[in-house]
Amino acid sequence: MELYEMKLINYKVEHGKLLRISVEFQGDRITQIRITGDFFVHPEESLFEIERLLIGKRVNEIKPVLRYFVRTKGVQLVGFSVEDLVEALNLAMVDKETQA
């Protein structure tokens, strides 16, 4: 059985906004995630939906899932992009793997 591993990532996006992600992995799957920072998501409840959507996913699976969700639900991400979120989670995975 693989252990759960919690990571906290502070990721500065290109335009100076901050993504702060607290993420727990079991192996290469996300088991918990909380996304906060210096940004806006409209409608606001979409952020919680994004977090729920990522549970159980591998980091390498999330970009198309997020793009589809944002496009079909009409979600506006202000201060970060899907690519920024994916990059921050990739950094969490790399950090996790280098510490293993």
Res 96 pLDDT > 70:
no
CB atoms within 10 A of CB 100: 7
Ordered by where they begin, the domains of the chain are: 4-99 (3.30.390.50)
Res 2 pLDDT > 90:
no
pTM score, two decimals? 0.89
pLDDT in tens, 35-82: 999 999 999 999 999 999 999 999 999 999 999 999 999 999 999 999
Question: Is residue 37 within 8 Å of residue 19, measured between CB atoms?
Answer: yes
- Gap between the Cα atoms of 38 and 40, Å rounded: 7
pLDDT in tens, 14-32: 887 999 999 999 988 999 9
**pLDDT on residue 4:** 79
